[in-house]
Amino acid sequence: MAKLVWFRDDLRVLDNPALYAACNNSGESVYAVFLVSGTQWKKHDWADIKIDLIKRRIKRLSEELASLNIQLLVLDAASFEDVPHLLVQVCKELDVSDVYFNSEVGVNEHRRDSLVEDTLRDEEIAARVFENRAIYPPGSILTGKGLPFTVFTPFKKAWLRKFQLEGLECLGRPQPQAVSQPTQEFPQAAWPNSTSDSSHWPVDERSILDKLREFAEKSLHDYGEDRDFPAIDGTSHLSPYLTIGAISARQCISRLLFNAQGDFHALSPGAQTWLSELIWRDFYRHLMVAYPKLSMHYNFKEGLASLEWNDDENMFEAWKNGQTGYPLVDAGMRQLNSTGWMHNRVRMVVASFLTKHLLIDWRKGEQYFMRKLIDGDFAANNGGWQWAASTGADAVPYFRIFNPHLQAKRFDPDGSYIRRWIPELSDEEVKLATSGKTPQFNNPSYPAPIVDHAQAREKALKFFKRDD
């Protein structure tokens, strides 16, 4: 008999609970499978560049598994409905007795996995499921009343208490397995066509770990300050790898502790800030599991369901294309459209602008981000958008409305970021754009502001207050 490891959003060999368990004291052949689900990915608005990153990572993962004598099969399962019977077919061909996989966030994924477990059970094949949705399992960090936290700060405090009491386990590399070959050739998957190129992002294990190490050694000390300045390379750039599971948050935290010689209290302020960002990811994943409605695009704050969002498609197109007349907003959208990535501070600014200045439904922005971002993580993206729109758990108060001009002055003071992404602006115009005041351009190549900031702010206050 053999074992089968089903890879999903955990595309790594290190710290992979399902893979580690399958290989531990096995003595049996171990196979692996990854299912290309192009139809389902499209329904979930996955960006082409994210799919390209996964495709490239799968090739490397196959090589890394081969060094452990594990063959990775890459097969077609266009939609989630195709998965159960395809896995059964693979199990029968390879004489598999146990299927190992790590849990995922999301209602559709939960339903798929439940159906897989039922189908495998009917065939007398065991499903071995391991927790991988967060650093600490959803439901393991609760209030004193046994309820999920809906405010980040007390969640973080409880998370840190658990961390200091229990620590965390970061699994190593499995031992090489018995050499084995499939009994027949399986047809290779046809990946969705894509014109997006993710080659800027290396996908081999060594390069990803080096990126983590270099960030921890060179940039982490100043992370607390530098992370808000989009022209500075002050962030980790690990989010795409965390999203597809090419690296785990546990590995990131283990590196923080390694640099602090294992002493949690010796973490630098920058390391503590980055740890807080990783805990935010856990917070949103815990919420997604505790409140399944979030997977179906409902407001967390149900009382805001009656908000009548603006459906002006011209404004939405201007926002998408970086043509709003607000330089920092436009620079961010152009960076997104060009690279598939956007600096986090600017993500907050453009999201606030869409929902507070233009009063356009956050769900349209959420979907557009997912269709463009190489690091489009559903839980984090949903949480971030609902935070900006003041509809989510522990969201920014509705009356906090970013002024894009002041944000540019504070976080792009010399205009380097704006200048890079809006080359049609002259140096003098860039200075005006970062002055903190509404710039008056006379530039036929750059649009006038599509809304007035002061008027938009007053309109937003009235819009949200009636449903507060």
Q: Is 280 a catalytic residue?
A: yes
Which residues contact residue 217 at a Cβ distance below 8 angstroms, ignoring those fewer than 6 apart?
259
Distance CA 100, CA 359 (A): 45
Phi and psi torsions of 33, nearest 5°: -140, 145
Selected catalytic residue, list 6, 46, 201, 280: 280
Q: Is 159 a catalytic residue?
A: no
Tokens of 236: 């980790």
Distance CA 16, CA 296 (A): 28
Distance CA 381, CA 76 (A): 27
Selected catalytic residue, list 28, 191, 277, 310: 277
Tokens of 311: 């459906």
Strand-strand pairing, 71-76 and 29-36 = parallel
Contact call for residues 314 and 320 (beta carbons, < 8 A): no
Tokens of 83: 């998965």
Nearest C-alpha neighbor of 238 from the set 288, 286, 277: 277
* Phi-psi sector, 179: left (phi>0), alpha (psi -120 to 50), beta: beta
Strand-strand pairing, 96-102 and 126-130 = parallel
Residues in a beta bridge with 4: 31, 99
Residues in a beta bridge with 317: none
* Helix, strand, coil shares, percent, the chain, to 5: 50, 10, 40
Distance CA 162, CA 460 (A): 40
Distance CA 422, CA 418 (A): 6
Q: Is 321 a catalytic residue?
A: no
Residues in a beta bridge with 310: 360
Selected catalytic residue, list 159, 385, 387, 421: 385
Q: Is 6 a catalytic residue?
A: no
Maximum Cα–Cα distance across the chain: 74
Distance CA 468, CA 460 (A): 12
Residues in a beta bridge with 112: none
Selected catalytic residue, list 201, 362, 387, 421: 362
Distance CA 366, CA 379 (A): 11
Catalytic residues: 277, 280, 309, 344, 362, 385
